[in-house]
Structure formats: structure tokens, C-alpha cells
Homo-oligomer: A and B are copies of this chain.
Amino acid sequence: MSEIRQNLVTKDWVIIATERAKRPEDFKKKNSVSPQLPKFEKNCPFCPGNEKDMSPEETLRVDKNGKWQVRIIPNKYPALSRTEERIRTVDGIKRKITGAGIHEVVIETPLHNTTTALLPKEDVESIIKSYKIRYNEMLKDERVEMIIIFKNHGEAAGTSLVHSHSQIVATPVVPAQVRERFHDAQQYFDENLECVFCKILAEELKDGKRIVLETDGFVSFIPYAALSPFHMWIYPKRHTSSFGEISNNEMEDLAEHLRIVLLKYYRGLDNPDFNYVIRSAPTGLKNIEFFHWYLSIVPRITKTAGFELGSGMFINTSLPENDAEFLRNVKMDL
């Protein structure tokens, strides 16, 4: 028998249809990003040697042993313009804003054939530190209302370039969905005098069944109403509403935590396509007691269909408790 669970943060109702359950093995699939590729590819705009000819000038660079380890560059085909003025207009049913904002690419490693899960901890830490620097720099841009840091890994996750990278987009408006969730979180706080994220974290730790990994500063778990198989949330234990406030200790801990979790996917589900995204408060709001930043990972191993498009409800064929147990048990020794 299926059951319908509500996600307290997104308010989504998710049909957990266990009769249709697959085994984790059934999700395994050949992936386009693979260590079988060459370490260097001469036509790849992210490979060393092509910095000047094939990519715009960098906005940040982290070196290691005299060479770059992480580079952040403006997106060559940006969705939003760094120089455009932000102008909002309304003309009857036509409401619009100029495409003002920032769109950057984080090249996560000089190697063409690797991925975050396989990097040493200190390289993952360099990526996270780079995120923070650019995040806080973009905060100063008065046109910016929201900063979204995300990664697309593999074709099903929407990327066309295999060289490991993530993206940062700073938008001139707070997305409607974010505004809704913010409103709901505020209402929860009003009624319960606590942050809904802190509450979920405490309950999940007490229950334990959906926990994948706990380290000093972070907890990974499969949400009670996960939207799709192996959908995961990584929550910082310390309450802060903005990713820009992450501390040095937390960055070090998150680097190792994220690396382990991604390696569990890599090994357990055979390098699945996935997206991750850092969900942080809109930039105009500081130290919000009712909102908590977090990182969300969505393996792209199932497809959304007309039902999801037409209702906003999801059908998850995996039981969150089983997914968490599976990932907990992925062997992590070398």
C-alpha cells in the first residue's frame, strides 16, 4: 500500500509508491562522466592551456603547487548580464525585469576526467571556499536578490560539458517558489517558536532511520517526504540563514562530508547523474531566525512525467528509509 507524505519545508505531498519499488541496482546506468576519459582534452574550454583562448577572464583562482586548482570564470553564454541595469516594468499582463545579474562557472579541477567524489578532501575544500568568496562578493551587488550555487553532473542532469564544474547565478528577483517557502517557514516559526529546519534536524537525528552521515558540523539524510529516489538534504547543525556565513571549520567539515556522500552515490549507484544546489536565504535578509541554509542533492535516475508537471505532486518509488540504509551501508574503505 502506498502512502502520501508531506514535506514540511516545501509543503509538497509525495506519493511513496512502494509497490512500484525498484532495487538500487535498477537505477544504475552508464554515465557520460567517467574516469575512462583522458586527463586532458584539447577542445575542452575548462582544461589547462585553454584559459586564454577558450574562456573569459577569471574572477577567482585558487592555486596549489604553483598551478591553478579551482578557477571561476564568467559563463561564456550567460543567462544574465553583469552590466545590465535592473529595471522592472508592468504592462497589463506583461510583467518583466531586465536580465540583470551574474552567471559564473566554477571549474572544480584542472583534470578533465574526474569528479568531486574522487577529489582529495583539500580540493573539495578549495571549491567550497571559492563558493563562499564569490557568494559574499556577489552579495555586494545591489541588483542581486538571490544567489544560487548549483552543480549539474551528467547529461540527465542537464550538462553538456563533462569537465567537472558547477555554476553560480545571481538573480535580480526572489523566485516565487523561494518566497513561498520563506513565508511558510516564517509561519512555522510564528506558531512553534522554532526554526522548522532545526526541528526537522533534531527529529531526524532522534529517529535515525533516514540519516546517511553525521559529522561535526553537518548531517545528511533522506527527507521523510523525499521527492525522488535517493534525494538527499545536507543540513548544517549550526543555525545560519545564509551560506555566506559558513565558518572555516564548517567548510573543512563540509568538504569531507560532501566528498563522502558523493562517493557513496558514485560507488553505490555507479556514478549516477545528479544535481546539487545550495539553498540560502535571499540576499536582502540577514540572520533570519526562521530560515536555515542547506544543500540538496537530487540524483537524476528517474524522470518526472505529466502527473508531476500537472499537480506539483511527486511519485517516489523508493522508501526513504530504505534509501538511507542503502547509502549508509556503501563501503567506504579504499
Give the B-binding residues of A (Cβ under 8 A): 1-6, 8, 10-13, 15-17, 19-20, 77-81, 84, 92-99, 146, 148-152, 155-159, 166-167, 169, 171-173, 175-178, 180, 199-200, 203, 224, 275-279, 296, 298, 303-307, 309-313, 315
B176 near A93 (CB under 8 angstroms)? no
A20: chain B residues within 8 A (beta carbon): 77, 79
Q: Are B99 and A1 in contact (CB under 8 A)?
A: yes
The docked-state distance in angstroms from the alpha carbon of A263 to that of B333 is: 56
CB atoms of B2 and A176 under 8 A apart: no
A1 near B81 with CB under 8 A, answer yes
Interchain CB contact under 8 A, A2 and B310:
no
B13, B80, B175, B305: the one within 8 Å of A311 (CB): B175
In the complex, given contacts A4-B98, A12-B175, A278-B310, what are 15 additional A-B residue pairs having Cβ atoms less than 8 angstroms apart?
A1-B81, A2-B80, A2-B81, A3-B96, A4-B171, A12-B176, A15-B99, A15-B171, A20-B79, A150-B307, A152-B305, A157-B303, A158-B303, A275-B306, A275-B310
- Determine the chain B residues whose CB is within 8 A of the CB of A80 once the complex forms: 2, 15
Contact B10 A176 (CB under 8 A): yes
Closest to A201 in B: B93
Q: Which 10 A-B pairs have the closest CB atoms?
A: A177-B312, A158-B305, A277-B310, A150-B306, A2-B99, A275-B306, A11-B176, A6-B95, A158-B303, A4-B97
Bound CA span A1–B315, Å = 38
A-B contacts, 22 of them at CB < 8 A, read A3-B96, A4-B171, A4-B173, A5-B95, A6-B176, A10-B176, A13-B171, A15-B171, A79-B307, A93-B224, A146-B311, A158-B303, A159-B305, A167-B306, A167-B307, A175-B313, A177-B313, A275-B310, A277-B306, A277-B310, A277-B311, A278-B310
- B203 to A92, Cβ gap below 8 A? yes
Residues of B with C-beta under 8 A to A4: 96-99, 171-173
The minimal Cβ–Cβ distance linking A113 to chain B, given in whole angstroms, is 21
Q: Which residue of B lies closest to A15 (CB)?
A: B79
A127 to chain B minimum Cβ distance, whole angstroms, is 15
Q: Decide if A306 touches B151 in the complex (CB within 8 Å).
A: yes
Contact of A176 among B78, B298, B312 (CB under 8 A): B312
Bound form: Cα–Cα A171–B307 in Å: 11
Instruction: Give the Cβ gap from A59 to chain B, nearest Cβ, in Å.
Output: 18
Nearest-neighbour CB distance to chain B for A315, whole angstroms, equals 5
* Interface contact B178-A180, CB-CB below 8 Å: no
Whether A93 lies near B200 (C-beta < 8 A) is: yes
The answer to whether B158 touches A275, judged by C-beta atoms less than 8 angstroms apart, is no
| A89 nearest in chain B by CB position | B3
Q: Is the Cβ of A169 less than 8 Å from the Cβ of B79?
A: no
Instruction: Contact check, B311 vs A178: say whether CB atoms are below 8 A apart.
Output: yes
Contact between A3 and B309, CB atoms less than 8 A apart: no
Residues of B within 8 A of A92 (CB): 203
Q: How far is the CA of A176 from the CA of B208 in the complex (A)?
A: 27
Give A125 Cβ to nearest chain B Cβ, in Å. Answer: 21
Residues of B within 8 A of A279 (CB): 310
- On whether A79 and B167 interact (CB within 8 A), knowing A3-B98, A158-B303, the answer reads no
Asked if A306 meets B158 with Cβ closer than 8 Å, knowing A2-B99, A80-B15, A311-B178, the reply is yes
